[in-house]
A and B are shown apart, each in its own frame.
Chain A
Amino acid sequence: MISNRIHPARQAGGLGELFEPEPRPAAAGVESVEEFREMLLALQEGTDRGGSPRGGPRGRTDRVPRGARPRPEPELVHAESLPARPARYADLAEPLPRALKHVLDAQGILRLYSHQAQAIDLARAGKHVVVATGTASGKSLAYNIPVLERLLLEPQATALYLFPTKALAQDQLRGLHRFAAGSHDLARALTTGTYDGDTPGSARRKLRETGNAILTNPDMLHQGILPYHARWGRLFSNLRYVVVDEVHTYRGIFGSHVANVLRRLRRVARHYGADPQFLCSSATLRNPQELAELLVGDDVALVDQDGSPRGPKLFVFWNPRQYGPDSPERRSASVDAERILVALLKRGVQSIVFTKARVVAELIYRYARERLERESRGLANLLSPYRGGYLPEERRAIERRLFEGELRGVISTNALELGIDVGTLDASILVGFPNTIASTWQQAGRSGRKLKPSLAVVVAYEDPVDQYLMRHPRYFFGQSPESAVLDPENPYVLAAQLSCAAYELPLSEEDEAIFGSRAPAIASILEEEGSFKSLDGLRYWSSSEYPAGGVNLRTISDDTFTILDQTRENVVLGTVDSISAPELVYPEAIYLHEGDTYFVRELDLKQKIAYVEPREVDYYTQPVLDTHLKLTETRESKKLGDETVGLGPAAVSWATVAMKKIRFRSLDAIGYHPLDLPRQTLDTVALWIQPSEGTRNQVKIAGLNPREGMSGLRNLLITVLPLHVMCDRPDIGGILDSANLGEPAIFMYDRYPGGLGYAERGYAIVGELLGAALRLVEDCPCELGCPSCVGLPVLRPAQQQDPDLYGGWPIPSKAATEALVRRMLGR
Chain B
Amino acid sequence: MISSSLRKRIGDMLRGEAPAADAGLGRGGLGFGHPLLNPAVRRPREPRIVPTSIEDILPGGIMIGREGPIFVHERLYTDLNERPTQLLKKYAQIGRQPPDPDAADAPPAPRTLPEAIEALDPPERGLFRKFGHRRMLFLDIETCGLTSAPVFLVGLCHIGERNLVLRQLFARDYAEERALLAEVERILGEHDFLVTYNGKTFDIPFLRHRAVHHRMRFETSIPHLDLLWMVRRRWRDRLPDCKLKTVEWRVLRRLRAGDIDGSEIPSSYHEYVKHGQPHRLLPVFHHNLLDVVAMAELLPKLFEPDEEAGGRYD
Contacts and interface: CB of A to CB of B under 8 A. Distances in A.
A761 B32 contact: yes
A399 to B, nearest CB: 35
B3 interface: yes
- Scoring A230, A529, A530 by chain B CB atoms within 10 A of each residue's CB, the highest score goes to A230
B52 interface: no
B10 A491 contact: yes
A530 B37 CA distance: 20
B270 A767 contact: no
B146 to A, nearest CB: 10
A233 interface: yes
Contact of A536 (B37, B175, B266, B267): B175
A807 to B, nearest CB: 35
A491 B174 contact: no
B13 A230 contact: no
Contact of B22 (A228, A754, A767): A767
A528 interface: yes
B3 A229 contact: no
A362 interface: no
B130 interface: no
Interface stretch (A165-173, A514-522, A657-665, A796-804): A514-522
A506 interface: yes
B6 A495 contact: yes
B243 interface: no
Given A528-B43, A765-B22, A723 B30 contact: yes
Interface stretch (A371-379, A540-548, A572-580, A607-615): A540-548
A228 B206 CA distance: 11
Interface residues of A, number: 53
Given A230-B148, A230-B212, A517-B35, A768 B274 contact: no
Nearest to B210: A230
Interface in A740-792: 753-754, 757, 760-761, 764-768
Interface string B260-299: 0000001100100110000000000000000000000000
Q: For chain A, what secondary structure do more than half of its interface residues adopt (helix, strand, loop), or is it mixed?
A: helix
A760 B25 contact: no
Nearest to B176: A535
B209 A231 contact: yes
A521 B13 contact: yes
Given A525-B6, A538-B175, A760 B14 contact: yes
Interface string B172-213: 011100000000000000000000000000000000011011
A254 B145 CA distance: 29
B9 interface: yes
A765 B270 CA distance: 41
A593 interface: no
A233 B212 contact: yes
Contact of A229 (B15, B30, B148): B148
A724 B27 CA distance: 10
B213 to A, nearest CB: 4
Nearest to A536: B175
Contacts of B15: 760, 764
A550 interface: yes
Contacts of A757: 10-11, 14, 32
Nearest to A768: B22
B54 to A, nearest CB: 16
A495 B1 CA distance: 10
Nearest to A638: B21
A551 interface: yes
Interface in A247-284: 271-272
Contacts of A760: 11, 14-15
Contacts of B21: 767
Contacts of A491: 10, 13-14, 32
Given A528-B43, A726-B31, A754-B2, A229 B213 contact: yes
Contacts of A496: 1-2
A172 to B, nearest CB: 28
A506 B274 CA distance: 15
Interface in B1-44: 1-3, 5-7, 9-11, 13-15, 18-19, 21-22, 25, 29-32, 35, 37, 42-43
Interface in A537-573: 538, 540, 542-544, 546, 550-551
A526 interface: yes
A726 B212 CA distance: 39
A113 B17 CA distance: 49
Nearest to B35: A517
B215 interface: yes
A265 to B, nearest CB: 15
B45 interface: yes
Contacts of B25: 724, 765, 768
Contact of A542 (B31, B45, B270): B270
A544 B288 CA distance: 19
Interface string B126-164: 000000000000000000110110000000000000000
Nearest to A505: B213
A767 to B, nearest CB: 4
A526 B274 contact: no
Contacts of A228: 147-148
A228 B146 CA distance: 11
Contacts of A723: 30
B145 A546 contact: yes
Contacts of B174: 506, 533, 535, 540, 542
A487 interface: yes
A543 B267 CA distance: 7
A227 interface: yes
A526 B13 CA distance: 12
B10 A487 contact: no
A271 B6 contact: no
Contact of A492 (B7, B29, B144, B175): B7
Contacts of B18: 761, 764-765
Contacts of B212: 230-231, 233
A760 B2 CA distance: 16
A165 B158 CA distance: 53
Contact of B215 (A272, A506, A525): A272
Interface in A491-506: 491-492, 495-496, 503-506
Interface string A173-210: 00000000000000000000000000000000000000
A227 B148 contact: yes
B30 A525 contact: no
Contacts of A521: 13, 35, 37
Interface in A651-704: none
B203 to A, nearest CB: 15
A754 B147 CA distance: 29
Contacts of A540: 173-175, 273
Contacts of A761: 14, 18, 32
Contact of A544 (B3, B22, B266): B266
A229 B5 CA distance: 30
A525 B1 contact: no
A487 B32 CA distance: 10
A391 B274 CA distance: 49
13 contacts: A491-B13, A492-B10, A496-B2, A504-B148, A524-B42, A525-B10, A536-B175, A725-B31, A760-B11, A761-B32, A764-B18, A764-B22, A767-B21
Interface of B: 1-3, 5-7, 9-11, 13-15, 18-19, 21-22, 25, 29-32, 35, 37, 42-43, 45, 144-145, 147-148, 173-175, 209-210, 212-213, 215, 266-267, 270, 273-274
Given A231-B209, A529-B5, A765-B25, 8 more contacts: A229-B148, A521-B13, A525-B6, A725-B31, A754-B1, A754-B7, A757-B14, A767-B21
Interface of A: 227-231, 233, 271-272, 487, 489, 491-492, 495-496, 503-506, 517-518, 521-522, 524-526, 528-530, 533, 535-536, 538, 540, 542-544, 546, 550-551, 723-726, 753-754, 757, 760-761, 764-768
Counting from the closest, the 7 A-B pairs by CB-CB distance are A764-B18, A544-B266, A230-B209, A767-B22, A230-B213, A517-B35, A233-B212
